[in-house]
Amino acid sequence: MTTQDEPPMQNTSSPVKDALDHFYTKFFKLVDEKGAPLVPYDSEWLSVCYLDDGKEGDDVRWLPKRQTQQTDMFERLSEALETPIHPDIIDFYSHYWSDPITANTAQGKLSLLQVWNNDDLERLRANFIGHALQKKRRRHPLTLFFALTLPDTEMMISVDNADGRIWVERPGKAPHLCVADSLAEFINALEPELTTA
């Protein structure tokens, strides 16, 4: 998934990375109880998360894996948006490769978005740019999403790029509900859910 000329990732800690490590520790305990989750194998959407080789479309086991290479995606995103990207969202999407993870909160269930491979990171960059342009047109503050509400995925949960607070918002609308003061605080309150088909 990474090219060999990318520099290795520095082993630095942050509140968001620590919160994700804690969250995935709880996730892996569920895996120990229920077994690894399944995902359809896609030879054109490969990931280090696959535990098994598979035939096209077959369900194969997968697990989240720590990212080991640095990416310049967020630097390029910052240049495209002409603004610095909040470090919490960078840490969130630069720490693990993973399929989205279902989690429970006091307010309900959500899908914690993650990136599957480098191509997924590039797709995320394009989505962030489109989202930011819409925000600019509507004169809303810049937010960067990291989760969707379940079961309807109608609302996004986002980081305010200016101050790092966590908001619930509908696409095309201004954020309307602040649910945490930081991404680390929000992640630390999550309980992962594991469904194995």
Closest CA to 86 of 45, 126, 128: 128
User: Tokens standing for 126?
Assistant: 């394009």
Counting every residue written for the chain, the total comes to: 197
122-141 pLDDT, tens digit each: 999 999 999 999 999 999 99
34-58 pLDDT, tens digit each: 999 999 999 999 999 999 888 998 9
- Cross-strand bridge partners of residue 40: 59
- Cross-strand bridge partners of residue 144: 159
CA 34 to chain CA mean position, Å: 23
Contacts of 33 (CB under 8 A, 6+ apart): none
Asked if residue 90 lies in contact with residue 115, where contact means CB atoms within 8 angstroms, the answer is no
Is the domain spanning 15-35+66-193 CATH 3.40.1580.20? The answer is: yes
Predicted confidence band at 18 (pLDDT cuts at 50, 70, 90)?
very high
What DSSP assignment string belongs to 154-176?
A: -SEEEEETTT--EEEE-TTS---
131-189 pLDDT, tens digit each: 999 999 999 999 999 999 999 888 999 999 999 999 999 988 899 999 999 999 999 99
Q: What are phi and psi of 76, to 5 degrees?
A: -70, -35
Q: How many C-beta neighbours within 10 Å does residue 139 have? A: 7
* Chain mean pLDDT for the chain: 92
